[in-house]
Amino acid sequence: MNRASRPRLLLRRLHTVMAGSGSGQQRLDKVVVEIARNMVAEVCSVYLLRSNNWLELYATEGLKKKAVHKTGLKVGEGLVGLIAEHGIPLNLPEASEHPKFVYLPETGEEIFHSLMGVPIVRNGEVVGVLVVQNATQRHYTGEELEALQTVAMVLAELVGSGQLVKLEDLPSGQKKKQNQMALMGRKFADGLARGSIVFHEPKIEIVNLVAEDVGQEKRRLQDALLAMREQLDQMMSAADIRHKGEHHEIFEAYKMFAYDRGWQEKITEAINSGLTAEAAVERVLQNLRSQMAKTRDPYLKERLADLEDLSNRLIRIILGFSGAHAHHELVEDAIVVAKTMGPAELLDYKRRYLKGIVLQEGSSSAHVSIVARALSIPMIGRVGSDLDEISEGDPAIIDAEVGRVIIRPSKEAVKTYNSSLDVRRTLAAEYEAQKDLPSVTRDGISIELMMNAGLVIDLPNLEVVGASGIGLFRTEFQFMVSSTLPKMDVQTDLYSKVLDAAGDKPVIFRTLDIGGDKPVPFIAQDDEENPAMGWRAIRLLLDRPVLLRYQLRALLAAAEGRELNVMFPMVAELSEFIAARKIVDRELQRFDKLGKLAPLTVKVGCMLEVPSLAWQLEALLEEADFLSIGTNDLMQFFFASDRSNPRTCDRYDLLSPAVLGFLKGVADAAAKAGKPLTICGEMGGHPLEAMALLAVGVRRFSMAAPAIGPVRMLIRSINLEKLKTDMEPYLQTRDHSLRSWLENYAKENSFPV
C-alpha cells in the first residue's frame, strides 16, 4: 500500500465505524483500534475535556482498560495537558525526557517511549487530545503527524454529536450568567457605544469529512477559489473602498492570500489524503493555527486573522452559501463579538447598525483594527476567555477609551453611559469651537500642536482638529502590508499625497522603523529574544543602506520644490546619526547630478528613544536640525520595563521625578542650542502628562489627532510660568510619582485634565 493511500483508507474505515451501530463509547473503542493498527502504534488513546478542566481518558488501545473513565490529567498537566493547554501537537521520540512528562502508573504506560499527540478541536476550541505511543524510540514523520491531525478532525465530529459527552458538560456549554459583568481589554479603536451582543457567526459546521471522489473535490475547490476572488475584486471596487486610500493598501495585502499558491497546494494535499474540499480547508487552517501558536512573529500572528477570514469565506462558498455571514445582516444596534476578525468581514456588516467590536485576540496594528479606526468604530481586543459568560442578544456597553465592555449593564451603568455620551458630545463641540484658536497659555506662551499620522485616511484630520502640521509620519505601514519592497513610484505617490494634504503645514517623515517587533515579509530575520531592542530601525537601515537610499529618493522626488523634513528612529549613538545624514547628503548630490528638481530645503532630525544618546546630546544638537522624543520606546528603555508586559507596563510612572528631570535636561539643552524639540509619543497626548511636559520646557507636541482638542483646551487654561514655578521644587522629591500632586494642582486650578 502506498504512503498516500494509507490516511485515505483510515478515514474511510473511521467513517464506516462512526456511521455504524452501537453507542458512542462502543464506536470510540473501535476507532482507537483502527488508528493504532493503521499507524503501526502499540497505543492509541483519546482524552476528552470535561467542564472542570479535567482531561478524562475516554478510550484506549494498548493501555490498561480499567483506567478508562478513572484516570486523566488537568489541562496543563503532563504532555496530554500541555497539548490541550496550547492547542499544539507534540512529537517526541522519548516522552519521559520532556520536562512536562507525568507518569500515570494505573495505565501501565511505563514500557512506552515515543509519543505523538494532537489536540481535538471543535468550533475553534480544544475539546480533547488524541495520542499514539510506541515502545521503541520512534520519530514520527511529518506525514504521520498530519494524518493524526486529520483523524482528530473526524473525532471532533463524534464529540460534537453529544453521544460521548453531554454538550453542556463541555467547556463551551457552561451555564451563562445573567448578572452584570465587565470584560477588560485593550483599546484598538476609540469610542463609546451601546448595542446588543451579536456573535460574529462562526464557520458553518462541516458534516462531510471523507471524500468519495478526490477529483470532484479538487474541482469544487477550484470553483470556490474563483468565486471568492471575484467577491474580493467586487469588494475592492466598491465606492467606499475606492475613495479611501488606506483600504486599498490593506485589501491588496489581504487579497494576496487568496492567490497564494502555497496555501492552495496545502489544501489540495489534504484533499489527496481523503478529505472533502471543505474539510481540507479547515484542516490546513488548523495546521496554520498550530504553527502560529509557536511563532513569536507579531506580523504573522496578525495575518492569521486574515487567513481565518479567507478560510471561513472559502468554506461557505464551497458549501453553497454566500461569502458574507448571515449575521452581517444586522437589524439593530449591535456590538459584534469575535475571537478574531478579518478586514473584509468587518466591511460585510451594515455600517448603520455596527456600533462596536470586541475581540478575544487581535492587536492594534492588525488590518481590522486599522479599518475600524478609519471608520470610527469603537474596538476593544484581547479580552481573554470570558466570552463564554455572555450570550447572543445580551445588552452591552463598550467604552474603548478605558478598554471596558459592560455586559447586561445595570440601570446605573446605562445612566452613566448616557451621561458619558452627553459629556463626550459637549466636549467634542467645545474642541470643534476651539480648533481654529491659537494654542496659547493664559500668560501668552505659544505652544505648537502637531499630529501623528501613518495612513492617507489620517490626513483630513489636519483640518478637522486644527493641527499645525504632521510632527510624525510613520512610513513603515506601507512596507508592512506588502509582500515585496514597495516600488519607488508607489512610495513617491504616497509621500506626495501627504505633502499635498498638508499644504503649507510642515510634515516630518520618520524613516523606516521596521525589523525587530515590526517585521516585514521581504526581509528575513532571526528569532530575537528582545525584538524591541534588536535589529530594527536605523540599525537595519545602516546594515541595508539600499533600503534607506531607496526611501530617501522617493521622499526627495515627492518634495521637489517644497520643504522636506526627515528624521531617523532608534539612534543610540551620534555616529549612527552622522552615517545616516551622510547618506542623505549623497542622495542630494545624486539629484543635483541628474538635474532633478530637489526640495526647496531639507532638514534632518533625530529621534531620542535610546537613553544612551542623552550623553552625547550637545554634540548631537550641533549635527541635527531638530530633535523629537519618542516617549513610547524611550520610557521602556529608561525603566528597562517592557511596555507590552502587563506585569511591568504600569509599574513605573511617566510622571516620576526621574523621568521629568531627564526630559527637563533635554528640553533645556535643545533651547540652549536653538533647535526645535518635539514630544511625539503617547505621553504628550494626555492632558495631565502634557501639563507636566509644559512645565519642564516642552513647547511642541505631536500626538494622535483626537488628543489635540483636549490638550489645546488645557493649554488655553493654564498660566505656564506659575505652573513651572510651583512644580519645580517637586522635581527633587523622592516620591514614586508626581501624579497625585499634578492631579490636585489641576483640580485646585480648574484645569481640564
Active site residues: 367, 680
- What ranges make up the beta strands (E) of 50-146? 54-61, 72-74, 90-92, 114-122, 125-134
How many Å separate Cα 349 from the centre of its chain? 21
The one-letter amino acid at 533 = M
Residue 505 CB contacts under 8 Å (≥ 6 apart), including other chains: 462, 467, 468, 469, 470
Helix, strand, or coil (residue 620) = helix
Give exposure, 241-274, as e/b (b: 16+ Cβ within 10 Å): beebbbbebbbebbbbbbeeeebeebbbbbbbbb
Cell 479611501: give the residue: 244
476 vs 541: CA distance, rounded Å: 12
Helices 261-272 and 214-237: crossing angle, nearest 10°?
150
Report CA torsion sign: 651, 656, 657, 659: positive
C-alpha closest to that of 311 among 333, 340, 331: 340
* CA dist., res. 427 & res. 260, Å (int): 48
Q: How far apart are CA 312 and CA 322, in angstroms?
A: 11
Per DSSP, the residues of 491-519 read: HHHHHHHHHHHHTTS-EEEEPP--BTTB-
Cα–Cα distance list, 649 to 157, 385, 405, 637, 658 (Å): 43, 22, 21, 12, 17
Question: CA-CA distance, 594 to 335, in Å (whole number)?
Answer: 57
Buried residues in 720-738 as b, exposed as e (16+ CB within 10 A): beebeeebeebeeeeeebb
User: Is there a contact between 118 and 44 (Cβ–Cβ < 8 Å)?
Assistant: no
Q: Is residue 73 within 8 Å of 55, Cβ to Cβ?
A: yes
Residues 285, 454: Cα–Cα separation, whole Å: 31
Within 10 angstroms of residue 432's Cβ, the number of other Cβ atoms is 13
Compute the distance between CA of residue 298 and CA of residue 361 in angstroms, rounded to an integer: 12
Crossing angle between the packed helical segments 631-638 and 657-673, to the nearest 10 degrees: 130
E-assigned strands of 2-84?
Answer: 43-49, 54-61, 72-74
Alpha carbon separation from 715 to 142, 439, 445, 469, 743 (Å, rounded) = 63, 6, 9, 18, 15
Q: How many CA atoms lie within 13 A of 213 on its CB side?
A: 5
CA-to-CA distance for 90 and 74, rounded, in angstroms? Answer: 17
Residue 166 DSSP code: -
The count of C-alpha atoms lying within 13 angstroms of the C-alpha of 437, restricted to the half-sphere facing its C-beta, is: 18
Going by the DSSP 8-state scheme, the letter that residue 601 receives in this structure is: E
Q: Is-contact 502 462, C-beta < 8 A?
A: yes
Q: Nearest-5° angle of CA 87, CA 90, CA 96? A: 130
Contact 240, 172 (CB under 8 A): no
Distance CA 425, CA 431 (A): 10
Helix ranges, 332-435 (H): 343-348, 367-374, 411-434
